[in-house]
Structure formats: C-alpha cells, structure tokens
Amino acid sequence: MRPIRLPEPPGPSLGVPEIFEGGAYSVIRRAVIIGNGFPGSENQSIGLVRALGLADKQVLYRVTRPRGGINEWLHWLPVSLHKKLDYIIRQLLLLTVRRRKLMPVPMENGGSVGLSSVLEADVKQIVTMASETYEKEGPLLVVASGRDTISIASSIKKLAAENVFVVQIQHPRSQLHRFDLVVTPHHDYYPLTPQAQKQIPRCLRRWITPLEPPDRHVVLTVGALHQIDSSALRSAASAWHDEFAPLPKPLLVVNIGGPTSHCRYGVDLAKQLSACLHGVLVSCGSVRISFSERTPEKVSNVIVKEHIDNPKVYIWDGAEPNPHMGHLAWADAFVVTADSVSMISEACSTGKPVYVIGAERCTWKFSDFHNTLRERGVVRPFTGSEDISESWSYPPLNDTAEAAIKVREALAERGWRLRP
C-alpha cells in the first residue's frame, strides 16, 4: 500500500522585508477569536488561526448566554435579546422576592459560564483595540464561529472595516457582505437543493435556508475545521509513545458522541455498536473507547457493561489527560458515531480507515454530509463484519489548510499579508 501523505501546516512564505511590500501597516501579526463556549465551534477557529501561523498571538473572547431555569428554552433567541429578556425576568423575580421579604435565591447565568481567564466578547473593546494599535501592530484578524458570534463579528467589521479582516466560520445564512470571508461546509447549502426545498414549508424557508448560493465571500469545505495536521500528529505520537507503542496491533479507536436533533439515537444504537464491536474483536489487537460530554449515560452504560471485562478493550473514564490526540496519532482505524461532524472530520484528516455507525439515522444536511464522505471513499459504514487488520486509505481531508490558503489569498487581494 502506498504511504499516506498527511497535510502539512501551511508554512510562512519567503518574502522581502515589509518596507518593500506595503509597510508594517499591511502585515497581520495577531488574531482575535470570538467563541461561543462550545468546544466544537471554538476548535474550528483555533484550528484556522493555527494554520495561519498565529497560534502564539491569539486572544480568545467568548459570547455567553444566560443559563439556568427558563433560559434553557430561550437559546433560539439572538444573544442580545436573550440577555435583555433575562435581565427583565431577573428584575421581576427580585421584585417578587422583596415583596415577600424572602432571601433571594442565586440563579445560574452567563456571567459564570466558561473559563475565568476568557474575556467576554465586547464589540467596543475589540474595535477600540484594533483602531488604537493599528499603527504599531498592523491590522487585526478576527475569526468567529457559531451562530451566537455572528452579531459580534459583523459589528466589529462594520465599525473597524479599515483595521480588521473578519472571517466567520459556519454559515450566517444571509448578508455575507458583513464579513470579509465566510468558511462553511458544503452541506450548509443543502437546503438550497431541490430535494431539500420540498421538505421545507415555503413560509419557513427564509428562516431555515441560506438566502443565496455561495459567492466569492464563501470558502466551502467538506467537513469541520480543526487543529489536526501532520505536525500535530507527530507531536502527539511522541507525547503518547509510552502508553500506545506497547499496545497490540491493530489498534481500533471508537469515538462515541451523543444524539442531536438531526441524528437521533439511544440505547438501540449502543446495542448495535456493541454487537458490531464483538464482531470485529477477533481482528483487533486493542480497542480504545472514548465518550464525549454529550454521550447519554444510558448509552455509555450499555457499552461499558458489554466490554468492560474484555482484556482487549480499554474504556477511557474521562480523567485527564485526554488521550484524544494520542488516539488520532496511534490508531490504525476508527469507528465514530454519525452525530459529530467534528469527530469524523478529525479522523478523516489522518488518512486511516474510518467507519461510521448510525449515518442512516441522520437527516437533513447531515445526511448530505455523510453521502459526500461515502461518495469520496473517505468513510465506510460499520457493520461488524470488517477485518480491522486490512487497511485502506484515501486522500485525507485537508479542509483547514485549504481554508487557510483562501484566507491568505483574500488578504493579498486587499494588499495585506500574514507575518512571515
């Protein structure tokens, strides 16, 4: 079998001193990441900034929502409206408590969400920083991901257009001119296909679909962006060598996510997965199983009960350090549940066999994502009849590096470039 060539992180291009290429004002040396508190979204922004060579010059800001009580039902609202409504509800509750002369009961809210070291995303603060430091530091790269970050990122672009370059990851559905570049997977445009249009009531299309096909502002990817490339895998292989090198081969890594609104499953899929794993154990040297934070306990309980006593199987208990990078580097093959575009995208960036279970349960654009992967020969369904010792390969997904190239090209059109 021919060796697999993994994507290399984009390296700095050779060039002449800044003074001969537009001066210091045209060079981007730092990045601001606007996150939403969800690892899957923030990892995409961090991955892109890393691929652009600015990992050591990034600052993470976060958009937070109120949480607790009725707030869990209000996540469909725009963040700004959600916060205003939460404030009104709090004042009414406080007034009620005072009238009853009772001690106020603390409520969980967005102020306590996330890491204390992560700054709350504030448009005025970021715009001021970009403007006041422009002459000394040059333009500011702003990378945001997720629906909750759209209003923040677009406002920064509007107020500091001459000082920033704004990249929005995941489709904002309309008004793409609010950003310098939009990076989104191809399946986000599935709602514009004829088969999808038949599934959407006409009165709802404005709220569900992108309002226009992709234009020059849009970079289309196959899957999600992430931080995995050959450099990261080599580092992980070295860091996890003592734990993984002695394991009998082939090593099968099983990544289990959790049901979503467009990929529903429960104990039934857990039982199916367990049966399939029993079918391939004879061809495995070792099996490592990991659950995500979204995995329901009833699902994990089925897997643990079926495999905890098998000497070939190790089930990660969630304790640090997280072996995820070690798994990506040392696995000979992967089994991934169909719900997570991020986990599948990372596994498919290795060029190693990836088997997916539960894809038939996915609907809407996520079904389109799985169809695309199968058509490209990147994944195969997990049936339990596989011989894990028989390897197969494909051109690894290279979405993050390819998106980074598009960002560099867009910057060049504007007369800007990244630091060498």
For 168-184, write each residue's pLDDT tens digit.
999 887 789 999 999 99
Nearest-angstrom CA–CA distance, 158 and 71: 30
Find tokens 């993470």 and name the residue: 60
CB atoms within 10 A of CB 6: 18
Q: Are residues 410 and 389 in the same domain?
A: no
Number of separate domains in the chain: 3
Q: Are residues 149 and 178 in the same domain?
A: yes
Q: Are residues 132 and 194 in the same domain?
A: yes
Would you say residue 76 has pLDDT above 70? no
Q: At what angle do helices 267-280 and 297-307 cross, to 10 degrees?
A: 30
Q: Give the pLDDT band (50/70/90) at residue 18.
A: very low
For 353-394, write each residue's pLDDT tens digit.
999 999 999 999 999 999 999 999 999 999 999 999 999 999
Q: Residue 335: which CATH number? A: 3.40.50.2000
Helix (H) or strand (E) holding 360: none
Phi, psi of 333 (to 5 degrees): -160, 160
Q: Are residues 55 and 93 in the same domain?
A: no
For 306-323, write each residue's pLDDT tens digit.
999 999 999 999 989 999
> What residue type is 200 in one-letter code?
I
Q: Are residues 167 and 316 in the same domain?
A: no
Nearest-angstrom CA–CA distance, 364 and 339: 12
Q: Are residues 244 and 311 in the same domain?
A: yes
Nearest-angstrom CA–CA distance, 165 and 88: 36
Would you say residue 95 has pLDDT above 50? yes
Q: Give the pLDDT band (50/70/90) at residue 208.
A: confident
Asked whether 31 and 126 are in contact (CB, 8 A), the reply is no
Neighbouring residues of 49: CB distance < 8 A, sequence distance ≥ 6: 31, 33, 55, 58, 141, 143
Nearest-angstrom CA–CA distance, 209 and 355: 30
| 14, part of any domain | no
- β-pair partners for 290: 255
- Supply the range of the domain harboring residue 304: 230-396
User: Tokens in use for 74?
Assistant: 């209000």
> What residue type is 132 in one-letter code?
E
Bridge pairing between strands 380-381 and 354-357? parallel
Find tokens 């995303």 and name the residue: 121
Q: What is the mean pLDDT of the chain?
A: 87
Residue from 190, 157, 193 nearest 171 by CA? 190
What is the model's pTM? Answer: 0.85
Nearest-angstrom CA–CA distance, 158 and 171: 18
Residue from 86, 88, 44 nearest 65 by CA? 86
Helices (H), 6-112: 39-51, 79-100
